[in-house]
Chain A
Amino acid sequence: MADTQIAPEPGTRAGAGPGGPRAARRKGLSERALARVFVAPSVLLMALVALFPVIWAIVISLFLYTRRQQTGFGGLENYTDALTSGRFWDSVWFTFVFTVSSVTFEFLIGLGFALLMNQAFRGRGITRAAILVPWVIPTVIAAQMWFFMFNVTPGFINNLLGLGNFNWLGQPGWPIFAVVFADVWKTAPFVALLLLAGLQTIPGDVYESARVDNAGMFQRFWFITMPLLKPAILVALLFRTVDALRVYDLPAVMTQGAFGTESLAILVREFVVRTPNPGFGAALSTLTFILVLGIGMIFVTLLGRDLVIGTEGEE
């Protein structure tokens, strides 16, 4: 950034020199260059805030530690250790299963809510507000609440469903279900909100002309709503997927990572705080970063292409 700021200045001075004011205006900063100068400070700030920690983590991940004491340079040793550890792959697997299942259900339920809220009916305002309540509750509190709901004691869900002492959180397989369930409850409203915003940009006359052409309800949904909603769907899926890949609070509070519910974020935290090994922890967080970035990029590419196509279609 230092270059960006300094680079245009000589041009200005040189222009102001021999050619006088008129030449200066002609040779001076173009609008585009001026914009770059103005934007530069915020770009620098963002790089400092967002990029520096990432680079610093990569640097740390190349060193070996015994607990908090640095013991030497290890090259990629932390990475090979991570990639050959069963614990890492277990948490990748859980994070993956969690992401795919929670995002799928959140999308389906969110879409249903959005379509419902987009209809004109009495009490629509209250419905919209009520559906958003889970999203407003802080995740840790929601996690603690769902722990109480699922846990054998006091056993709210078991009482409700007459399941006796079914141990949702204390036997293989079911804790994953409970965590996904809690996440879907918490975040489906958010997806609904994003999709509702998308639905409201679809003009009503498109549907009217479809009706005139005798298109049925299913056809209107499939050939009008879905294609026009696609950008909003991609945005919602991007947000949710990236967010789900970083899941920490729900399994941390509900299961402490027991029964194969240790997510990548929990694993990173384990090696940064609980059994400190900053090098290994940084390697794990870098791997997580690469994973999340990669998946995010796929979405952004899809989204970018779709937005371009979308604008062309409108014109």
Chain B
Amino acid sequence: MVWAIGGSEAQVGGVHQTVAEMWSEANPDNPIRIEILPEAADEQREQQALDLQAEAGGFDVLGVDVIWTGEYSENEWLESLEDIRGDIEAVTLPGPFETGIWGGELWAAPYNSNAGFLYYRTDLIDTPPTTWEELCQMAEEAGGAEGIAGFVGQGAQYEGFVVNWLEYYWGLGGELYNEDQSEVLFDVDLATQATEFMADAVNGCYAPGFNTAMEEEARNEFQGGNAVFMRNWPYAYSLIQEDTGSPANESFDIAPLPTFTGQGTISALGGFNNAVSAFSNNTEAAKEFVLWAATDPEVQSTLATEASLPPTMASVYDDLADDPVMSLLGEVLSEAKPRPPAPQWNEISVTMQRALYPAYNGEGDPRSAAEEVLAFLEGTVGN
């Protein structure tokens, strides 16, 4: 069998390779081999689309980003996983499980998850903030006193910006759709508020260059000791911890992302699921593989211990409760929200980027930007 998955962990020595070897050793008559896809998610999707569009059947198992489920299933590229749904649902965290569902049916088995953390400097901040306003205030005070920037995150015009914006918008109590995505619940007032918060922060607690930063630019700033707070994924934790030359190395910690109400935490959910290609010649074995990868405790804990990839299996978090990253993830993931895995997600995301990015950078009106997003979302339902 061929498993088409990308990213750094698919390379030789990566954890996906370890998982593939574990399977092949246990199932010598049905071994699996990884077809390494590119690093960038868009390019992975393109490679898979080439195979699937041609119905070539070169890939049996597909590593599918949580936001592609709807698109792939509407294109009839995937085998339904309804017959193994029960086994998966029983052991998987609800948030990650939801990302494999489209149209009420399970299309992709959860594999690894992801969620945003608030990183902060323990030498400058005693207790992490619970609201965004509080965060901004602390960031400006501590940063001003120290002569460093306040808050870094993902503010460049790309998918990561949409994730950051949604965390503000969700933190205000906003929603995009109702549960089965038949109705738009987008709230223009809350969206305007979220964008205005960002617009104010550009001249306030945001670090200079916030609006051109992606994950790595943000990490470099925080790791270099140039920022008090950072919003980033769990991967940054071990990198900062291993970098003994970093000013943040000895004095940083992680906390849940704040909201605007001070209640709970909200994070956007990331990660990858495994789906079975509709054009595979080995559907049964492929299904067994995705079920195994989602429900085998050894596979799931290997993801966490070998690669700091957040597992999707609930029990692993209890077993690894001593690990600070995993214990915080256990807390954050139960509150994390998936971006709608609708077939139109990429169009929605691009529309949000093109409307909201200029609006928070003083090139457009936040309210009309929100109205533009609402109009687009409404065009995606009911036809």
| A interface residue numbers (CB < 8 A to B) | 67-69, 87, 151-155, 165, 167, 169-172, 255-259, 270, 273-276
Contact = CB atoms under 8 A, between A and B. Distances in A.
B350 A153 contact: no
Which residue of B49, B209, B212, B220 has the most chain A CB atoms within 10 A of its CB atom?
B212
A276 B362 CA distance: 30
B363 A275 contact: no
B357 A258 contact: yes
B343 A67 contact: yes
Contacts of A257: 157
B208 A165 contact: yes
Contacts of A171: 361-362
Contacts of B226: 153
B176 to A, nearest CB: 17
Contact of A167 (B46, B158, B208): B208
A87 to B, nearest CB: 8
Contacts of B212: 151-152, 167, 169-170, 255
Contacts of B363: 172, 259
Contacts of A255: 157, 212
Chain B interface size band reads 20 to 34
Where chain B touches its partner, the secondary structure class is helix
A151 B45 CA distance: 29
Given A68-B49, A68-B75, A171-B361, A153 B209 contact: yes
Contact of B209 (A68, A151, A275): A151
A282 to B, nearest CB: 15
A154 B226 CA distance: 10
A207 to B, nearest CB: 50
Contact of A275 (B46, B221, B350): B350
A203 B212 CA distance: 52
Contacts of A87: 354
Contact of A258 (B74, B75, B157, B346): B157
B157 A68 contact: no
Nearest to B45: A273
B64 to A, nearest CB: 15
Given A172-B363, A258-B156, A276-B49, A153 B346 contact: no
B217 A67 contact: no
Contact of A153 (B75, B157, B208, B343): B208
A165 B75 contact: no
Contacts of B79: none
A165 B203 CA distance: 12
A273 B46 contact: yes
A171 B210 CA distance: 11
Contacts of A152: 207-209, 212
Contact of A170 (B46, B211, B221): B211
A68 B45 CA distance: 13
Interface in B338-383: 343-344, 346-347, 350, 354, 357-358, 361-363
A247 B127 CA distance: 49
